[in-house]
Amino acid sequence: MEAIVRTSFSFPGQIGLYKGKVRDVYNIRDEILVMVATDRISAFDVVLPKGIPYKGQVLNQIASKFLDATSDIVENWKSATPDPMVTIGRKVEPLPVEMVIRGYLTGHAWREYLAGKKMLCGVPLAEGMKENQKFDRPIITPTTKAHVGHDEDISREQILDLKLLTESIYCQIEEYTYRLFQRGTEIAAQMGLILVDTKYEFGVKEGKIYLIDEIHTPDSSRFFYGDTYEENFRQGLEQRQLSKEFVRQWLIENHFQGKEGQTVPFMPDSLVQEISERYIELYENITGERFVRADSANVMGRIEGNIRTFLARQK
């Protein structure tokens, strides 16, 4: 399958198109959002030059499954998934921060800790911790939402001081974040996995908070295999994990971390194929379901046709 890295549809009632790092979002009458999960892949807040076949389908279907599995905790934006690469739902006003929650000291948090920082987003970190060590209690380390460039770490206090959110809204999404993470942890455990860290995004419509965007996907989350965690941690070995961290590690090994002056290394076709296969592996391990590759004969036509059919039924 050829990777889908851009779309340019024109739907009835369309008044805007926003292209994110991975998703193309169509605004219909300022009421409905049509979110197409493309095969673009980003790392260190940079979109890489090649798309990954089936990645969009993987992300969209995982997110759809977990949105359904958590809707009793907080209502979400989703209305339907008319195509394997598409989710359609209500348009809400996004809140200007992302709620990152971490159960373990790894990834960005570990790199900061290793650099000598013992405070992350206003949360103190204990002395003498080791990579991949479990926190006594999950910590929330919010970030700003950057449309271009890097998201930045921010503390609860800064969010309130800058009036990015009211205290009541922050407290509500903080509670939702803990509860969503707990639910995700329980579901992951049933699959023999550990939900290590993830991020949630929220929005508001008519005074009501909604969960938006994706949830518990390998782009927004990190999973460890549960059966080898303790032994690998005890021996100081790398954890077997399900996330796109392996893409970040490949970039780091090739001297790229999204910093000024750095150039994205060449991505050989063999690497693209490996990443595609890893995303499919992620899907099957996270959901416990076999991944069924969507019809690739005319992907763009299929996507457009399924969206138009859904929108026509909404009139």
Q: Which residue spans of the chain are classified as CATH 3.30.470.20?
A: 94-246
- φ/ψ of residue 135, rounded to 5: -75, 150
Collect contacts of 248-255 with beta carbons under 8 A, ≥24 apart.
Answer: 248/43, 248/44, 251/43, 251/44
| Residue in the block written with tokens 């948090």 | 109
What CATH architecture applies to the domain 14-92+270-313?
Answer: 2-Layer Sandwich (3.30)
Q: Which residue spans of the chain are classified as CATH 3.30.200.20?
A: 14-92+270-313
- For domain 94-246, the CATH superfamily is ATP-grasp fold, B domain (3.30.470.20)
Catalogue the E-assigned strands of the chain: 14-19, 23-28, 32-37, 42-43, 46-47, 78-83, 86-90, 93-94, 97-104, 119-120, 123-124, 134-140, 143-144, 193-205, 208-212, 221-225, 241-242
Distance CA 290, CA 268 (A): 27
CA angle 285, 282, 97 (to 5 degrees): 115
Q: How is residue 163 written in tokens? A: 């009036």
Of the candidates 63, 92, 69, which has an alpha carbon nearest to the alpha carbon of residue 202? Answer: 92
Write the CB contacts of 241 (distance below 8 Å, at least 6 apart in sequence): 196, 222, 223, 224, 225
Stated pTM of the model: 0.90
Would you write out the chain's pLDDT as a tens digit for each of its 315 residues?
789 999 999 999 999 999 988 999 999 999 999 999 999 999 888 899 999 999 999 999 999 999 999 999 999 999 999 999 999 999 999 999 999 999 999 989 999 999 999 999 999 999 999 999 999 999 999 999 865 555 789 999 999 999 999 999 999 999 999 999 999 999 999 999 999 999 999 999 999 999 999 999 988 999 999 999 999 999 999 998 887 888 988 999 999 998 889 999 999 999 999 999 989 988 999 999 999 999 888 999 999 999 999 999 986
